[in-house]
Structure 1
């Protein structure tokens, strides 16, 4: 179904069954599959492929060469239809690829709102992305990766499957992310090593200086304490009940995960 306000270039193909919202713009040489839903105001510039059971939220803009909603590249992918859901007001630049989920792990890849995906970045099957995230050029997310709100991943960085990247974390360019990265953490290198807190990002987000100092103190207690990371975090939790950013870090560490935690030492530990 295509509404009358949509502008579809005659050189593009929109299969029967696709749902096209108000004021959608589809430039030349695009292909839109029969199970696609484009929200109001979505714009496909040209040479964009949107396939699979893919829903794209209103106001999202997609640049040439992107392939959105392709089958999972997992060796376990089955022929059963799975889904990709992209939120509102995302910018998806040239050559970006995003895959649908796998049946074995819920069947859905989820991308939140107001995210920026620079050229040739990749979002694999079953990933879960929050809001206001930046994936720089050539960032690669393997399957089942979670990226929380306002995280920034530098160009060419690669994230191992099942890894979590915490809220407002910063991943340096060309870094290999093999272990979970705490909220507000900074990780650099190959293999990736936790190199402190994203203080610049916290400052830009409006955190007051006493809060940043408290989070720094918490970080030091976690990673320089006498026990394991998780034991240190559990031991100090009551000290930070009035500091939400510190609690976010502590709760992230306490949560179940398939991966170890990145640390200032090479590799991860518990």
Structure 2
């Protein structure tokens, strides 16, 4: 969310120093003091399509068909953390043609970014979905929203807190076929939270090459992201969509 708030800082600086209207104080009270009156609520802004970070892990799954993004309410898990799983990978991700992207809404406008450093272990069996699983690890400090101010903000304690939590993990399991492709449970371990959300995706397999596209939706509130600056989602929408596109080759 800090990244999103950063999107608004440029315009706020002009008003903060050219006129004493306290725009920055309204947007970032922790840094510039509190405004005389609370900021006007902008309503609940929703992002299209939740890994952030965690969902980035999805980009590694080879699956066929056409999938839809699901916005089911995330559930807190007491399950075994993703790092404890053993994956017998049978697909190699082609990182040069694969991407994990996060998208949300800030003050009515869309914002987006990608993670530059992530890895995935993929064990996927089209004929044995119950034996399929994927483990993705994302280096959260590599989030790139296009501007240094936003990127630096995302690394801070209120957001990804990359000093304390340098990576996020996502474990995909319970794969099933749907009318449009596939679905899986994505257990996302981000900061101190472990939450499961649905991931819908499509996959096309041509010989030993698989091409996939998927989406998942996560709540920043559920992962305690940006809750000091904007807990109500007045400026930054609560829902963040993680979109993954990628290519993998059979081992």
Q: TM-score range by the shorter chain?
A: under 0.3
Report the TM-score when normalising by structure 2. 0.22
Structure in which a larger fraction of residues adopt strand: 2
- Max Rg structure: 1
TM-score, length basis structure 1 = 0.21
